A and B are shown apart, each in its own frame.
Chain A
Amino acid sequence: MGLKIFKRYGASWLCILPLALVIVPFFLLPMLVVGAASFLQGDGFGGIIASPTLANYADLFTSKLTFDLYFQTIKFTVLTWAFSLLLGFFIAYFLVFHVRNQLLAIGLFLLCTVPFWTSNIIRMISWIPLLGKEGLINQAAMGIGLTHQPMEFLLFSSFAVVVAYVHQLTIFMIVPIFNSMARIDKRVVEAALDAGASRFDIMRLIIVPMSKSGIALGSIFVVSIVMGDFFVIKVMSGGGSASVVGAFYEDISVLQYPPAAASAVVLTFVVMGLVAAILRTVDIRKEIAP
């Protein structure tokens, strides 16, 4: 019987084997270890005592801090998602429908990726001389007499966090949306024009629905990255805002592994829930295998 099953599914198993060899030891096993650690006790010195407990979860769910952290993180996620979607959609729209020359469109598309030739951290830090109290924007604003005092909200603020995130993540919106828009048959747009649709109607009734899967893919990238990040919030808010990951990073730095593990497990489920919600709105398989 085993042989029969192998005959039937052997080729498929062979196909997924290389991926499984990476995923199982480097993703699945660590996740299981974290999951297991979240149900154990710490000894306060970085050790773990093998006695099962639900205390880590109980602490997490009874602390007001947890909900504040999620509120903060989700706030940044939603703001970043909204702005990067807006930018990403219109940049992709411009590239696909307004740049007539395809070579130029591809060139401009590659230009969008130029900032990614430097590291994330440098791209983020380089906002500081621009947004700081003595930074370019404040100096310029004061120079032309717009304000008399430097604008403080520019740096080390929620504003700065969102700016840095949008800058980092818009490309993750552009790429999948560009991809799904590029597949729209131009004749379909022309047919809409022929029926008397305005530019706005075409956008609303044809292009947005037909790029839905690209929007969903981009949203998954942005949401899962912002939800899982702490560094940008930490640096760009100047310590003024906290995040879910930032909090359990603190736990780890004081060797509190089991509570950190519990936070990680909860976050994983929250992000999975968000991704599942996004996937409910589109048939992602259509995008992968048209």
Chain B
Amino acid sequence: MARVRGDIELAGVCKTYDGEVMAVEGINLKIPDGAYCCLLGPSGCGKTTILRMIAGHEDPTDGEIVIGGENVVGLPPVARRTAMMFQSYALFPHLSVRDNIAFALRVRGQSKAERYAAVDRLMEKVRLTELADRLPAQLSGGQQQRVALARAAITEPRVLLLDEPLSALDEQLRIQMRQELRRMQQELGITFVHVTHTQLEAIALADVVVVMEKGKIRQAGPARDVYAYPRDRYVAEFLGGQNVLSGRVQSVDGDSIVVASPQLHGIEVPLRKGLVPEPGGDVDFAVRRDEVALVRPGASGPPPHGAAISSRVVAVEYQGSFVKVMLDTVPGREFVAYVPERRFFDDPLAIGDVVLATWPSQSARLLD
């Protein structure tokens, strides 16, 4: 049998409830076959609705959902060859682990011997064999997740849809299970679509990160693109790791602009392709927190072509490999520098110290 393709394409997908509430507004998205895609956004942004529409548990009000080249709108989940792993797993509480995993085969009319043979093979692979006869209530969170994953995978779907799969687990287990999900995806070689509101989870796992807000996609792309090169203020703030600043354009010259505000004096920001800010207009720009260097005033001047803003240290948090230093650079807004641990302790800063927050001009990024 030729392998069925599991690439997904959403074209103009909309979903409204009761003809009024727009849950999803005209989503266009391509997920390549065998990719790990994370839909990332705060609760209520429509990410779960998209997942449920791909799964066939909800129908889009408008638009097309194409899986493997075939429009699947209106088809039941089985005909789509998708499988869903539900939030908090939705295991059948009255069935043993073995029967939970075998359920899909049972309703397909396989005999007991046949389906148990298939299930036992899979259980061995995901290390569930010794739990085969337990009920879901007798399992730990991590074990339940493995059962849910096995139950979804038993039918060899071409797309696996995961709704907040890690949210029911504690921190340590979450990181462990995250790796297991990724390993499983690579082993099965199928498309995974994973809904989460945790930024770290998304960028650690995904080939394609889709950042959503209020039913719309704000940015979609490889994890590094989304994290390091956010398109707009929302993405930059939601993914974290960036300081977002704003100001008025003073002048545009060549390939950069100069931005100023009451706190910022002539900060140079490189231009971005396709963005042409007007002099006198307001712009946002972002600076990665780990590109901000802190120097004591008068130590050795700011780097050439760099920005330097005098600020006071408000708080210091030790994070292990780096130190998070919070500054009062812009009143009422967070401005943080991630200082490598060793460099920080060469000359430790204390709360109240005045420093210069500096960064090379080319590392600032203009936002939409």
A residues whose Cβ falls under 8 Å from a Cβ of B: 185, 187-188, 190-198, 201, 205-206, 209-210
Given the known inter-chain contacts A196-B155, A201-B107, please indicate yes or no for A190 contacting B57, CB distance below 8 A.
Answer: yes
A195 B107 Cβ-Cβ under 8 A = yes
B residues whose Cβ falls under 8 Å from a Cβ of A: 55, 57, 76-78, 82-84, 86-88, 90-94, 103-104, 106-108, 151-152, 155
Residues in B neighbouring A195, C-beta threshold 8 A: 78, 83, 103-104, 107, 151, 155
| Cα of A198 to Cα of B104 in the assembled complex, Å | 11
Residues in B neighbouring A201, C-beta threshold 8 A: 107
Residues in A neighbouring B57, C-beta threshold 8 A: 190, 193-194
List 11 A-B residue pairs with CB atoms under 8 Å apart, sorted by A's residue number. Answer: A187-B88, A188-B90, A188-B92, A191-B90, A193-B77, A194-B83, A194-B152, A195-B107, A196-B104, A196-B107, A196-B155
Pairs of residues from A and B, 6 with the lowest C-beta to C-beta distance, nearest first: A195-B104, A196-B78, A187-B90, A191-B90, A197-B107, A201-B107
Q: Which of these, B77, B87, B106, contacts A194 with CB under 8 Å?
A: B77
Min CB–CB distance B89 → chain A (angstroms): 8
A206 B90 Cβ-Cβ under 8 A = no
Q: How many residue pairs, one in A and one in B, have C-beta atoms under 8 Å apart?
A: 57
| Cα of A192 to Cα of B103 in the assembled complex, Å | 8
A191 B108 Cβ-Cβ under 8 A = no
Q: In chain B, what residue has the closest Cβ to A190? A: B57
B90 A190 Cβ-Cβ under 8 A = yes
B90 A185 Cβ-Cβ under 8 A = yes
Q: In chain B, what residue has the closest Cβ to A198? A: B107
Min CB–CB distance B9 → chain A (angstroms): 21
Q: Pick the most buried of A187, A190, A194, A201: most chain B CB atoms within 10 A of its CB.
A: A194
B92 A192 Cβ-Cβ under 8 A = yes
A205 B106 Cβ-Cβ under 8 A = yes
Q: In chain B, what residue has the closest Cβ to A206? A: B92
Residues in B neighbouring A190, C-beta threshold 8 A: 57, 84, 86, 90
Residues in B neighbouring A205, C-beta threshold 8 A: 103, 106-107
Min CB–CB distance B206 → chain A (angstroms): 23
Residues in A neighbouring B104, C-beta threshold 8 A: 195-196
Q: Which of these, B88, B94, B107, contacts A209 with CB under 8 Å?
A: B94
| Cα of A192 to Cα of B102 in the assembled complex, Å | 11
Residues in B neighbouring A192, C-beta threshold 8 A: 92, 103, 107
Given the known inter-chain contacts A188-B92, A191-B92, A205-B107, please indicate yes or no for A196 contacting B77, CB distance below 8 A.
Answer: yes
B151 A187 Cβ-Cβ under 8 A = no
| Cα of A223 to Cα of B91 in the assembled complex, Å | 34
Residues in A neighbouring B93, C-beta threshold 8 A: 188, 210
A197 B103 Cβ-Cβ under 8 A = yes
Residues in A neighbouring B86, C-beta threshold 8 A: 187, 190-191
Min CB–CB distance B164 → chain A (angstroms): 12
Min CB–CB distance A188 → chain B (angstroms): 5
Q: Pick the most buried of A195, A201, A206, A209: most chain B CB atoms within 10 A of its CB.
A: A195
Residues in B neighbouring A188, C-beta threshold 8 A: 90-93
Q: In chain A, what residue has the closest Cβ to B57? A: A190
Residues in B neighbouring A209, C-beta threshold 8 A: 94
| Cα of A205 to Cα of B102 in the assembled complex, Å | 12
| Cα of A197 to Cα of B106 in the assembled complex, Å | 9
B55 A194 Cβ-Cβ under 8 A = yes
| Cα of A193 to Cα of B87 in the assembled complex, Å | 15
| Cα of A194 to Cα of B51 in the assembled complex, Å | 13
Residues in A neighbouring B94, C-beta threshold 8 A: 209-210
| Cα of A192 to Cα of B107 in the assembled complex, Å | 9
Q: In chain A, what residue has the closest Cβ to B55? A: A194
| Cα of A104 to Cα of B102 in the assembled complex, Å | 36
| Cα of A97 to Cα of B167 in the assembled complex, Å | 27
